Structure 1
Amino acid sequence: MTEERSEGENGSAGFSLVAVLVFMLIVSAIIVPFAVTAKTKLMIANNEVEQERLSLLAEGLANVVSSELANGSGTEKLRLDATPIACRSGEFTFDVRIQDHSGLIDLNAADAHLLSLGFASLGFDRQTSEELAEAAIQFRGSTNAFAAQAEPASSVGPPQNKQAPFESVSELQEFSALASTPLHDLHDVFTVFSKRGTLSLDLAPSRLRTVLADASGSGASTTEGASEGSTYSVEVTARRDGSGIAGQVGFIIEKYPASAAGFRRLSRSPAADITKLAATTFSENCDALFGPEVAQILRGWAS
């Protein structure tokens, strides 16, 4: 009798244990997905906060660089031909690219030859580059609007010509041959702000300078020596070492003495892909880029 009772109690205990284990498995199956989802959302939120934090920092540093360009101190110490330069503060790296628009091709003022060299710097062959240059001239307007309307549409150009000046470099993406060209690459060659039919060879970005050098003696409208520019593209990237998270900003600014800052923003410009900044030149600290006061703040912030 005692043995039967003991066997019954053992069986009951075993059943209870199995029931508890099954219950725990069911609860785990319900809770674990929620826990994983919550952890994932927390990681995403933390990454978004970090990116926003770095973006705000990059924008602040872009304002510092813009002020230096406006007061003239930046034009003496900074590269103005889109050559990337960077500094490190603690575990953070700051990349800066500045392009004086005197070294770019103005879509509204350049002649067909200079425009074709600009398109050639983007990798197009000579014939396509010349066709794109002619399409750009037709797009921006003709002295004879009726004759322009009678001309057949270009196979590399836009569906319809604007017959008015370019307002933005982004309008080039309306051209069929340029639709897939990254907007940043177009901004690296062309502008609508210099208002000049020539460009300063010393301020041209490397890809454009190479093409112009190869075409030397061909009648390209270039000038030697840096000119006094008033419009600049300013790009700043802030990133933490070892992290794929980065904050980026890009602006086109011009000197504007009426403003307390000495400059004003004309538009946003697409920032460079940080993976393409491999040729970055590092300075020892951030003093040269942003000034000693800002560099001191960055050191305190990064510590």
Structure 2
Amino acid sequence: MNLENLTTERRNQKTTGLDEMSIRDILTIMNEEDAKVPAAINESLDQIEAVIEKIVESFAKGGRLIYIGAGTSGRLGILDAAECVPTFGTEPEMVQGLIAGGMKAMTVAVEGAEDSESLAKEDLAAINLTDKDIVVGIAASGRTPYVVGGLEYAKEVGATRASISCNKQAVISQYAAYPIEVEVGPEILTGSTRLKSGTAQKLILNMLSTVSMIGIGKVYKNLMVDVRPTNEKLVERAKRIIMEATECDYALAEKTFTESGEDVKLAIVMILTNSDKETAASKLVASNGFVREAAN
């Protein structure tokens, strides 16, 4: 294994005396290095856009978005997938994250799991990966065998293949039809890719899931109209979303929220079109879930 050419493994010449720096100096340079991440991502917006288009296409076919990764990369994929359920009202199966070594690896490193190509194939087969799905392999190094194996299996079943790496000319890019490569430079702590590389991956995942959900009607204006009100805070947020989307008062928002069966999107269409629950539901079906179209 030759890691010499990987930017993610190189030493940052600005921090060779990291252990002798003051806390404030470390914080300052850490912040300066982190600030480089958005600029690096900006250079890859074309590639990110292409992946989002494919995710939307996959959802339109009834397919799923599957993230695969090891270590920090795998954990970030699982985090992004988990957040789609409350934020966008998706079923847990629609966006999934797989990590080398299984859910145990979320908190404890599983020896050798990331080095197994066959393990990823088994994990994807276990969720019945199909040609309707899109698999996004995530690896800061761009060479993780678990991700390579997963992308190979995705090709076998005809699923769309994308990747996210933090090195140029990454190995996993060769296995992805839609590679994203964002090079953020050496970490302040050599090889600690949970830092800038992890931040870059998180920002890209934010883009992939959020913009894809906008693309399938999960957002009206800039409001999360498919939010699941699973606790008191979210119930109040749901009512506020209804008020902001329709410019109604709290009383009407609360009343319609209840009448809709606590369905924010449905309540909004009921108010905007001055219609009952059944009529509003029909309008949403006809518009494929887009509030703006249903309200016209």
What TM-score does the superposition give when structure 1 sets the normalisation length? 0.22
More helix by share: 2
Larger CA Rg, structure 1 vs 2? 1
What TM-score does the superposition give when structure 2 sets the normalisation length? 0.22
Structure with more contact order per residue of length (Cα contacts < 8 Å, sep ≥ 6): 1
More strand by share: 1
